[in-house]
Amino acid sequence: MKNKRFLLSEEDIPRQWYNIASDLPTPMQPPIGPDGKPITPDMLAPVFPMNLIEQEMSRERWIAIPEEIIDMLYMWRPAPLVRADRLEKYLKTPARIYYKDESVSPAGSHKPNTAVAQAWYNKQFGIKRLTTETGAGQWGCALAFACSLLGLECKVFMVRISFDQKPFRKTMMQVWGANCTASPSNETNAGRAILKKMPDTPGSLGIAISEAVEAAVTDKTGKTRYALGSVLNHVLLHQTIIGLEAKKQLKMAGEKRPDVVIGCAGGGSNFAGLAFPFVNDKINGEKIEIIPIESSTCPKMTKGPFTYDFGDTAQMTPLLPMYTLGHSFIPPPIHAGGLRYHGMAPLVSQCIVEGLITPRAYDQLKCYESAVTWARTEGTIPAPETSHAIACVIDEAKKAREEGKEKVILFSYSGHGLLDLAGYEKYLGGKLEECSLPDSELCESLKSIKDLPKAKTQKTGKW
């Protein structure tokens, strides 16, 4: 008998999150205001509860996961590590491919890992209502689910193009009691301003974030806060449970370490969740290739500069040091809505600067082709975001075949595509066109950051 799935028992769930900020070779640069001065905790207080702000700024290596959060995580965790042996056989590769299956959560992706944590910390702080943005809808669903567990109200601004492409995401959120609006909307100043300039815009995560932040800070009860599904330190922190579990499971599978670690990256939380515990190994001397995958239509990591930029279009957030295409960038309407974000998480960005990880960009059609290969070998239908990781996994497995190397490839199966079938329908019907990003558009959006403070591109040069 060969082992297909590697399951941890509930006793084996990690009890602490891993904070990579404590281990990075160069200290992180702080978020700053437009005046160049570091943001203080007080300045974030209207947006986030203080317990999460503290976590955002923490330098502790290990942060204990409260028991009540673990109790919610038990609804689907520990998540399986699975050997993709059928794909290996199909590719005739000597590589051993493992995936961490994050699609098993009630909302269908890795997003609930931080949603239940954020909702819990907000509730502890006395908050009654959360606002948020969502791209493809995975994060909106995750927060709706988490809020329903804890009895919080939930308001979601969903990027217009995804709202139209994936109509049943809204229904899912409603099943969990949340309210979901297409963004840009008429409900906020930020939304109205964008609609006036660009009535037909497909929207973007940057715009939806502006709306959600505005909806939180303008609520006069003081009981509303904003929750972000990626990018920030505390969000990535909560996701490290993925990689911490995967490490234990790789040992169960008899593997010493992965040779290649792959994850798709929109804001960076899925990738970081799996990768950061292995980045730590790399800092400590292990030889691992670690690859975040982006869409070639939103190529901040492979084509953007590393600099300070706003997290949102309306410039409501602090400036963050990150790879970015400029906060005014509106990506082409690819189906992988979760990858349509102009910037990359500061922690992930710093790992790129250091050379600890090496990003790649993939085209939409190749990703759909890979997704169908996956469905017909491993059986499940991946989210369009996840298909970007699969495309790279297939490339790496073929490379191992050509080199005749028994590599261990590990990747994050970040979500299922059962709410994203419209894209598959177009692809299978030969009606899905390649989205491309004209250089001119990129140049235009980069103008929006040219006068902002520059981030230091510190690196040790070790990797």
Name the token pair of 322.
Answer: 């990150």
* Region near its own copies per CB under 8 A, out of 322-330, 416-424, 430-438, 446-454: 416-424
419 touching its own copies, by CB under 8 A: yes
**Least distance in angstroms from the C-beta of 418 to its own copies:** 5
What kind and span of H or E run contains 410?
strand 408-413
Beta bridge partners of 264: 293
* Region near its own copies per CB under 8 A, out of 43-51, 132-140, 191-199, 373-381: 373-381
251 touching its own copies, by CB under 8 A: no
**Least distance in angstroms from the C-beta of 361 to its own copies:** 25
* Region near its own copies per CB under 8 A, out of 72-80, 125-133, 226-234, 272-280: 72-80
* Region near its own copies per CB under 8 A, out of 169-177, 180-188, 193-201, 337-345: 169-177
Cis check for the bond before 31: say yes or no (omega within 30 of 0): no
Cis check for the bond before 41: say yes or no (omega within 30 of 0): no
* Residues 217, 164: Cα–Cα separation, whole Å: 28
**Least distance in angstroms from the C-beta of 143 to its own copies:** 13
Write the interaction track for its own copies spanning residues 37-56; mark x where CB under 8 A is met and - where it is not.
--------------------
177 touching its own copies, by CB under 8 A: yes
**Residue matched to tokens 């000597």:** 94
**Least distance in angstroms from the C-beta of 139 to its own copies:** 16
425 touching its own copies, by CB under 8 A: yes
Q: Convert 351-389 to b/e letters by CB count within 10 Å (16 or more is b).
A: bbbbebbebbbbbbebbbbbbbbbbebbebbbbbbbbbb
> Residue 179: what residue type?
N
**Least distance in angstroms from the C-beta of 99 to its own copies:** 12
* Residues 353, 232: Cα–Cα separation, whole Å: 17
171 touching its own copies, by CB under 8 A: yes
108 touching its own copies, by CB under 8 A: yes
Name the token pair of 77.
Answer: 């965790």
CB 176 within 8 A of CB 145: yes
- Nearer to its own copies by Cβ, of 198 and 428: the residue is 428
* Residues 327, 342: Cα–Cα separation, whole Å: 6
**Residue matched to tokens 């978020």:** 31
Q: Residues interacting with its own copies, by CB under 8 A?
A: 1, 3-5, 7, 9-11, 74-76, 86, 104, 106, 108, 145, 148-149, 168, 171-172, 174-177, 372, 375-376, 378-381, 418-419, 421-422, 424-425, 428
